[in-house]
Structure 1
Amino acid sequence: MTEFAAFRERIIAICGERPYYDYNHLIIQGREDFPDMFVKYGYRSCQLHAEARTQKYVHNLAQSDPRAPCVPEILDVFEDDHGHVYIVKELINEPNLDKWLEGAASTDDHTRCHTEAVEKVAAAISWLHACPRPSDTRIGPVGGGIIEHYIFSDTGAPIAFAHAAALQAYLNEALSRAPPSGRCTVNISTEPLLLCASHVRPDNFYIDPTTGKVGMLSFRRVSFVPESLASLALSPMRGTFVEEVSRLVDLPTDKRDILGRAGMLITMLGGRHLGIDEHGRKKRTRRSRRSRQPAARVTIPSSDTTPTIRSPLAASWV
């Protein structure tokens, strides 16, 4: 939008006045020729550009489908001279589902609203799963890039995988670092790729009072992934709300356990690339004999000498 470009300097100036430790988003009040807007900004240029591409793609699909959820429009995306990326979005003034449910007048009203929210979010997630994959995307966000999924904790994948086989090779490398008795492999490379939202929490959705549709606020953790990873994002152990949504979404669940183990190992190993490149091949490194060290492995103490501890991290993945 050419008229919008003149507004960029004001956006940069307002964001620059905020302390570095403050949140990476804010609301900018508009004026007569510009509406109020939501701005998300930061240094993670590749991830922010990928998020904007994905949200714009889904918004365009939603415009022509009456069954689609509401998706805020991307108004502008740009970078400043210091490498900051700014995503300017349509401002959504409606409360998220958490606050919407808090406003219920009675217990019965809250139960009805909660059931409605679960059903509408499940329908929105199923609609996303059915979105066609654009021709320039093999895996990950639209246009390619880092997969943002909870299996990689909060930092995203350490590699921009070129295809599903590369992702499978990485997960199997992580699984190979387990103690011998717990080693296994997973096969996900031939599964259909679904557009997966792994941030399925009430604070990421809202209800449009005009249409009654559910809307989705953040597209940071939305990527095309094999269907088993889409299923893992709906693991009941992620919370009561996710569990209720999961019951209404038709996905296989047979690989949730093994993928949960892989996610736990990735976290324990520090989320590193594990010697795997973007094509799933082992990286070739030159090292002297003295510097050669065996691959890092997870060591689990013997149960004979160590009391059993139930890890909350482990529970969150299965």
Structure 2
Amino acid sequence: MDFVHGTTIAKRKTAPKTLYHKSDITAVAVAYKQLVDIKMPAGTAPGPVGGGRIGHDFFVESMSTLTYPTVGHLEAQINEILHHLCDVRVDFKTETADGLVLCPSDLRDSNYIMIDDEGGLWAIDFGRTCFLPPSFVSYSLITSSDIFVKYVAWYVDYPRSPNLRGMEMASGQMVIFGDNNLGQ
């Protein structure tokens, strides 16, 4: 771990209620896109490097309670939840044929990106960064209520996932019941 002398995007705003600098937002969007272009091979278990629970805002309290050995297990759980609600299903197989993508799901103006004294960007918080199907990147960008994430999403050229509706419905059910194991 390195010490970076700089400041967060939140502290670069001129006043608490002002807008962000456009140059900061676009720079973060470029850096974010570079991060989500990092892939792991097909067949890799979803989650953090080395395995473990998935940190993502899809789950209740942003952390899965299960470890998923395959993307198929994660897909099966979500589809089981959806089976009881409607005829919408998610399909992660097609989008993960080329592998899983790095999904930084905790993008915040105060804790994810720091700008050093020379203007360089540093990703500083990987606590909820996992390798996941691309749908999870789309979910993080589109469903966030955080204004900073909304600004960054505007500049990130990332496709809207066809799985998004199903993911929103399944996540909503887990929140309602307060149970990440729903559908198991």
Please tell me the TM-score bracket, short chain as reference.
0.7 to 0.9
Q: CA RMSD in A?
A: 2.6
TM-score of the superposition, structure 2-length normalised?
0.84
Show the counterpart of 2:179: 271
Aligned residue type for 1:95 = T
CA contact (8 A) 2:5 2:116 kept: no
The answer to whether residue 92 in structure 2 is matched with residue 188 in structure 1 is yes
CA contact (8 A) 2:13 2:21 kept: yes
Q: Offset of 1:98 from its aligned partner?
A: 0.6
Aligned residue type for 2:52 = G
Show the counterpart of 1:218: 125
Aligned residue type for 1:188 = F
CA contact (8 A) 1:138 1:144 kept: yes
Show the counterpart of 2:115: 207
Q: Offset of 1:259 from its aligned partner?
A: 1.2
Q: Offset of 1:146 from its aligned partner?
A: 0.8
Q: How far apart in 1 are the matches of 2:144 and 2:21?
A: 19
Show the counterpart of 2:61: 154
Structure 2 residues not aligned, in runs of 5+: none
Q: Offset of 1:272 from its aligned partner?
A: 3.6
Q: How far apart in 1 are the matches of 2:43 and 2:163?
A: 28
- When residues 190 and 177 of structure 1 are mapped into structure 2, their CA distance, relative to the original with a 3 A threshold, is same
Q: Offset of 1:244 from its aligned partner?
A: 2.0
Q: How far apart in 1 are the matches of 2:41 and 2:148?
A: 31
CA contact (8 A) 2:43 2:70 kept: no
CA contact (8 A) 2:39 2:131 kept: no
Show the counterpart of 1:261: 169
Q: Secondary structure at the match of 1:202?
A: coil
CA contact (8 A) 2:81 2:183 kept: no
Indicate the structure whose relative CO is greater, using CA pairs within 8 Å and at least 6 residues apart.
Answer: 2
Structure 1 residues not aligned, in runs of 5+: 1-72, 74-89, 105-109, 277-318
Q: How far apart in 2 are the matches of 1:165 and 1:250?
A: 27
Q: How far apart in 2 are the matches of 1:255 and 1:225?
A: 13
Deviations, residues 93-148 of structure 1 (Å, cap 9, x unaligned):
422111121369xxxxx76x621111111111111112242799432111111110
Q: How does 1:1-318 map to 2 (within 5 A)?
A: 73=1, 90-102=2-14, 114-133=21-40, 137-178=44-85, 182-192=86-96, 193-204=100-111, 205-210=113-118, 212-235=119-142, 237-253=144-160, 254-274=162-182, 276=184
Q: Offset of 1:155 from its aligned partner?
A: 4.6
Structure number, greater radius of gyration: 1
CA contact (8 A) 1:136 1:144 kept: no
Q: How far apart in 2 are the matches of 1:189 and 1:266?
A: 22
- When residues 247 and 222 of structure 1 are mapped into structure 2, their CA distance, relative to the original with a 3 A threshold, is same
